[in-house]
A and B are shown apart, each in its own frame.
Chain A
Amino acid sequence: MLDIVNLHAGIDDGTAIRPILHGLDLSVKAGEVHAVMGPNGSGKSTLAQLLAGRDSYRVTAGSVQYLGRNLLELPPEERARAGIFLAFQYPVEIPGVANIYLLKAAVNAVRTHRGEAELDAIDILALVRDKLKFMGMDEALLYRAVNQGFSGGEKKRNEILQMALLEPKLAILDETDSGLDIDALKIVADGIAAMRSPQRAIILVTHYQRLLDYIVPDRVHVLAQGRIALSGGPELAQELERRGYGWVDTASATRVGATA
């Protein structure tokens, strides 16, 4: 579904491009769940936002194929319509725009793209109510301005609510588990787990093993210094939990050494 090859990218600060990713390779197939871990500042959000199309991140080399197409050619809204969803690490507030309104616009943008009829306010509401309950969210949040004055947990749940409604093919969740208490984490994790399906790929960006206790990933990758330093099965996450990221450098060095 997603093939990233030798990706070099950086942030465009207006005058120059400051490199962040240095030759990243990642391949994700439909039905798989991949966890991407790594220390702060290693480039996880850069990767996530770049895949969603944020244009302040510039690709300087490498390629990204999504469902056989060059993903990098598409503007963000076309990526979304083609089934890519990013749950933001820091969901954005939009004053004056009711949450339900954005949900409706988003669902209909995707439906129109798929050649399906648009849903009216009543259909949307019926659809949303169902998911809302599952996410343990108060209906009042639908009528508040998008993310404005939402607690950290409410924001993260709202992201998962959007994902549930949009039914993406590739979901990228950027630290959706950060800042949640145990109860909220369980709800969010259940929400994500419910989305797991043979047709869908999920990339979980996380720092913590605890989310992976609920959603056991097929693959775990450690991002360090702008590339995948180490990959493994679910046990890699547990090892990281025990040893911390400091261990990755030596581990990757020895593994690279071993295979050389």
Chain B
Amino acid sequence: MTTAELRLEDLIGRDYRQGFFTTLETDTVRRGLDEDVVRLISAKKNEPAFMCEWRLKAFRHWLTLAEPRWSSVTHPPIDYQAISYYSAPKSRKDGPQSLADVDPELLRTYEKLGVPLQERALLAGVAVDAVFDSVSVATTFKDKLAELGIVFCSFSEAVQEHPDLVRQYLGSVVPYTDNYFAALNSAVFSDGSFCYIPPGLRCPMELSTYFRINAMNTGQFERTLIVADRGSYVSYLEGCTAPMRDENQLHAAVVELVALDDAQIKYATVQNWYPGDKDGKGGIYNFVTKRGDCRGANSRISWTQVETGSAITWKYPSVILQGDDSVGEFRSVALTNHYQQADTGTKMIHLGRNTKSTIISKGIAAGHGHNAYRGLVRVARSAYGARNYTQCDSLLLGDTCAAHTFPYIEVKNPSARVEHEATTSRIGEDQLFYCQSRGLTPEDAVSMIVNGFCKDVFKELPMEFAVEAQKLLGVSLEGSIG
């Protein structure tokens, strides 16, 4: 009757405008996984014997494991023998030849997100030289960092150039025995990033620009290892707000962080992979193992993540607080829309004395999205004076979505103090109407409400990233929610 009939359901029911499909020809090893394939991967990468051995041990262990069933996500069975575990760097010649061939909707998204021009081409998989600009920028960064003694390179390069560091730290936080996906990753991981900050050094830049570019070719089994030596500091940004082209459905990454005495690592992630269409078809399965080890006294590791993509996210960035007085932090915004499922949270394992952890989780569910927070706070007998504060908030848009909270608290030391707060709220028609009656469009209203809800997490992101994350939610809300 009136045109003022824009209901919340319409608003959140809109399509993801960023998805696109193009098949690229790749140099792929035959499908399936056995010891020969593992050896082949290692050989193609020209790895030293210890790496090949490690991969094989991981593979043999993987064979003894079954896929985990304990999380709240559901998906059709994954046929691990139908996947090819090695692709050579992808040929760009079958991709779009210029930005003019790229889906205009995608370009519009990049524009809204403020992605620099040369990166747009890169992200959209265009075969242009614009890429080289960025790569040379990256090389300049790398040289500067190398002068300081900072190692920052692809994992493959690290295996060649710094085998001793790799050997010392690889699997020392997430052993291949850790879980099904970590074992699989250890056996077949393609590439990733490696970073080592020498003692007493403060890494003078956010390690981001380079990574963005680097991340393009890391594939579905990515592995990252960051070591902050005594008294050093590094801030690391993973991912980017722009949707990235990716044909692999299963992603099983591993990230290991090691902080020695007085060192600090800040790790921020923005993840915006294809979530599947509004009926739940397609989309990336993202099964990630991320763990930090506060190995030294007085060390500090913080995870900050903004997750808006993927069909299924299964991810628990954790901190092992070994060193006395060490601090672990986890701040997360996870948004699920349509048929997206997220089971995410953290584990804070207090071992050292006076260790502290903070958990702030903001889950946003819309459409038929399922959002679960699963968090473990474990205080060992040895952790005198341990403290944890957990705040876990859920925001629902519409009434077909769901949010769940699964806090697990295990306290073995009576001097520990553990606090847990949880809230669930809903963006109602009345809130939207109230904002609209003050002149805001429904899109702006939803965006304002959601950003308000996420404030505590965004303020921990590096400035530039925070602005991007806000824009991302804005665009996701417009594109996928409202």
Tell me the A residues contacting B by CB distance below 8 Å: 49, 52-56, 58-60, 72-77, 79-81, 85-86, 88, 91-98, 101-102, 105-106, 109-110, 113, 145, 162, 166
Contact = CB atoms under 8 A, between A and B. Distances in A.
User: Which of B4, B425, B430, B438 has the most chain A CB atoms closer than 10 A to its own CB?
Assistant: B438
Contacts of A96: 449, 452-455
A58 B398 CA distance: 21
B5 interface: yes
A101 to B, nearest CB: 7
A51 to B, nearest CB: 10
B439 A72 contact: no
A162 B438 CA distance: 8
A102 B431 contact: no
Nearest to A92: B434
Given A75-B2, A77-B442, 14 more contacts: A52-B437, A53-B2, A55-B6, A59-B2, A74-B2, A75-B3, A75-B6, A81-B439, A92-B431, A92-B433, A94-B435, A96-B449, A96-B452, A97-B452
Contact of B448 (A60, A88, A97): A97
A118 to B, nearest CB: 12
Contacts of B433: 49, 52-54, 76, 92
B467 interface: no
B143 to A, nearest CB: 41
B3 A101 contact: no
14 contacts: A59-B2, A74-B4, A79-B437, A80-B437, A85-B437, A88-B434, A92-B428, A92-B431, A94-B431, A94-B449, A106-B439, A109-B438, A145-B452, A166-B438
Contact of B452 (A60, A75, A81, A101): A101
Interface string B437-477: 11111101000110011110000000000000000000000
B435 A102 contact: yes
A55 B438 contact: no
B332 to A, nearest CB: 16
Q: Which bracket fits the contact residues of B?
A: 20 to 34
- 4 closest A-B pairs by beta carbon, nearest first, are A109-B439, A96-B452, A97-B452, A106-B438
A248 to B, nearest CB: 30
B344 to A, nearest CB: 20
Given A55-B4, A110-B439, A98 B452 contact: yes
Contact of B439 (A80, A92, A93, A97): A80
Given A59-B1, A95-B452, A97-B452, A53 B436 contact: yes
B130 to A, nearest CB: 34
Interface of B: 1-7, 423, 425, 428-431, 433-442, 444, 448-449, 452-455
B5 to A, nearest CB: 5
Contact of A102 (B1, B2, B448): B448
B437 A76 contact: yes
B427 to A, nearest CB: 9
A113 B449 CA distance: 22
A166 B452 contact: no
Contacts of B430: 92
A110 B429 CA distance: 22
A49 B142 CA distance: 61
B436 A75 contact: yes
B448 A105 contact: yes
A48 to B, nearest CB: 10
Nearest to B453: A96
A189 to B, nearest CB: 22
A110 B437 CA distance: 11
A80 B3 CA distance: 15
A73 B437 contact: no
Given A55-B7, A95-B425, A97-B448, A77 B434 contact: no
Contact of B453 (A56, A73, A95, A109): A95
User: Which of A77, A86, A162 has the most chain B CB atoms closer than 10 A to its own CB?
Assistant: A77
B429 A56 contact: yes
Contacts of A49: 433
A53 B453 contact: no
B1 A76 contact: no
Contacts of A76: 4, 433, 436-437
B340 to A, nearest CB: 22
B309 to A, nearest CB: 23
Contacts of B448: 97, 101-102, 105
Given A92-B430, A96-B449, A105-B448, A55 B2 contact: yes
Contact of A77 (B7, B428, B439, B449): B439
A105 B453 contact: no
B438 A74 contact: no
B360 to A, nearest CB: 13
Contacts of B435: 94, 102, 105
Contacts of B441: 77
Contacts of A166: 438-439
Contacts of A93: 431
A105 B436 contact: no
Contacts of B428: 92
A75 B4 contact: yes
Contacts of A110: 439
B249 to A, nearest CB: 35
User: Which of B2, B435, B437, B444 has the most chain A CB atoms closer than 10 A to its own CB?
Assistant: B437
Nearest to A53: B4
B197 to A, nearest CB: 36
Contacts of A113: 439
A42 to B, nearest CB: 21
Nearest to A109: B439
A80 B449 contact: no
Nearest to A162: B438
Contacts of A109: 438-440, 444
A110 B438 CA distance: 8
User: Which of A58, A73, A95, A110 has the most chain B CB atoms closer than 10 A to its own CB?
Assistant: A95
A106 B455 contact: no
A52 B6 CA distance: 14
A94 B5 CA distance: 22
A95 to B, nearest CB: 5
Nearest to B436: A76
Contacts of A97: 448-449, 452
B478 to A, nearest CB: 15
Contacts of B431: 92-94
B116 to A, nearest CB: 26
